[in-house]
Amino acid sequence: MNGPLAAVCSVVLLGGTLWFAMVRPRGLPEAVVAVPAAGVVLALGLTSPAEAGRRVAEILPTMGFLAAILLVGHLAAAEGVFTWLGGELAEICRGRPRRLLVLTFVAAAAVTAVLSLDATVVLLTPVVLATSEKLRLTARPHVYACVHLANSASTLFPVSNLTNLLAFAASGLTFAGFTALMALPWLVTIAVELGAFAWFFRTDLRQPATRPAYEHRQAPKFTLIVLAVMLVGFATGQLVHVEPAWVAALAALVLAVRALAERRIRPWQVLTEASPLLILFVLALAVVVEAVDGHVLGGLLRTVLPDTAGLPQLLLTAAVAAVLANLVNNLPATLILLSALGAHPDPGVLLAVLLGVNIGPNATYLGSLATLLWRRVLSRPGHRPATGEFLRLGALTTPLSLVAATCVLWLVR
């Protein structure tokens, strides 16, 4: 199938897949619609089996890493890492709202960088919410910090976000090289976000310090050491030709054996917490995106995207990536943009794409699945985020963060 009808069918299939993933009626897995949609794409000839197979083969190793790091995050939670972290936040901030906000930024940035944005949204957000309530402080600034940094602080390591993993192989960079280029943009992004939060939530942050009782918890040293060794393994593994997926898998294995021996988790959870249905969703989504790229956006983006890395070109690239992420979600946006950039893109342009698809989703709920998941985490009455407030905060922080990070990327590359 070719022509306008193929374009319409491709867009409808992608739109339906994303709508279902965002709404998840009755809590059904995203793959329930994504897999049949991929089958329809192949049945209608919107993309060839060979092209679909090539796309799936390209991202399959990345999916292996994703499964391992999701399991590591769950096992870290089972070992009490996030409960301990919440206790440390409460103890150090001593009831001061501004100090708690800074500490939440530090914790969210670190968790996002090491364990990926999903850990920040699913595991850290409830802990920060509970800590705020225990300290009798307004939770809004602190839980908003979790979702913003889950997106914008996911630019540091190749392993911090699935979008980074998808782009890393095409970048031609080592783990250390990627991190060195993104470190200063990452720090600048966090600083800009913190300044914007301090102004936006200035009334909440003037709340007087409280003096609640808090319980000191013993640090889960074994798990923290495993996480630290895993991070070192990410940075040095390529020197001995060991991919990050194997490092994450080894860390997951060590933590799983310990958790099973101590009966903290059940054997079936080792499989379910690796999110096989999420992996299946991403693979099916890649096939649907291949059709959209071939019939709708690919040609336009190849015309618009630059192949040089001057400052105007990087700003344009980041802006296009941010807009596309908020139109079709950042995961399919990354797949489409990678296809448009070709096999050997300029590393600076590729990193600008990542700034766009990672920082840009803070502008709307639709930009990132992590944002939608965060909203679900806060679904109980009294904690549901207001759409207008979310959009106003995004309008303040997203352009400032994206422009600042892109300018710094241009300076350091």
Query: CB within 8 A of 7, min separation 6: which ones?
Result: 295, 296
Is residue 21 within 8 Å of residue 281, measured between CB atoms?
yes
Q: Which two tokens stand for residue 358?
A: 């990672």
Query: CB within 8 A of 211, min separation 6: which ones?
Result: 94, 95
For 72, other C-beta atoms within 10 Å of its C-beta total: 29
Is residue 326 within 8 Å of residue 360, measured between CB atoms?
yes
- Looking at residue 322, its pLDDT comes to 95
Is residue 337 within 8 Å of residue 163, measured between CB atoms?
no
DSSP states of 130-180: HHHHHTT---HHHHHHHHHHHHHTTTSSTTS-HHHHHHHHHHT--HHHHHH
For 300, other C-beta atoms within 10 Å of its C-beta total: 11
**Which pLDDT tens digit goes with each residue over 318-363?**
999 999 998 888 888 888 898 888 777 889 999 999 999 999 999 9
pLDDT per residue of the chain (413 residues) written in tens, 0 to 9: 667 888 888 889 988 888 887 777 877 888 889 999 999 999 988 888 888 888 888 778 878 888 888 888 889 988 889 889 888 888 888 888 999 999 999 999 999 998 888 889 888 999 999 888 888 888 899 999 999 999 999 999 988 888 898 888 788 888 889 999 999 999 999 999 999 999 999 999 988 877 766 667 788 999 999 999 998 888 887 777 788 888 989 999 999 999 998 888 888 888 888 888 888 888 898 888 888 877 777 677 888 888 888 999 999 999 999 999 988 888 888 888 988 887 778 899 999 999 999 999 999 887 887 887 788 788 665 667 888 899 999 999 999 999 999 999 999 98
Is residue 18 within 8 Å of residue 328, measured between CB atoms?
yes
Q: Cα(284)–Cα(196) distance, rounded to whole angstroms?
A: 38
Burial class (CB in 10 A: 0-12, 13-18, 19+), 407: middle
Q: At what angle do helices 140-152 and 347-359 cross, to 10 degrees?
A: 160
Residue with token string 């499989």:
271
Q: Which two tokens stand for residue 288?
A: 């649907």
- Looking at residue 173, its pLDDT comes to 87
- Looking at residue 382, its pLDDT comes to 62
Is residue 389 classed as helix, strand or coil in its secondary structure? helix
- Looking at residue 398, its pLDDT comes to 96
Residue with token string 């009334």:
203
Q: How many residues does the chain have?
A: 413
End-to-end CA distance of the chain: 43
Distance, CA of 394 to chain centre: 16
Q: Which two tokens stand for residue 313?
A: 């070109």
For 17, other C-beta atoms within 10 Å of its C-beta total: 25
- Looking at residue 328, its pLDDT comes to 80
- Looking at residue 242, its pLDDT comes to 82
> Which DSSP letter does residue 45 get?
T
Q: Which two tokens stand for residue 93?
A: 């901030």
Q: Cα(225)–Cα(232) distance, rounded to whole angstroms?
A: 11
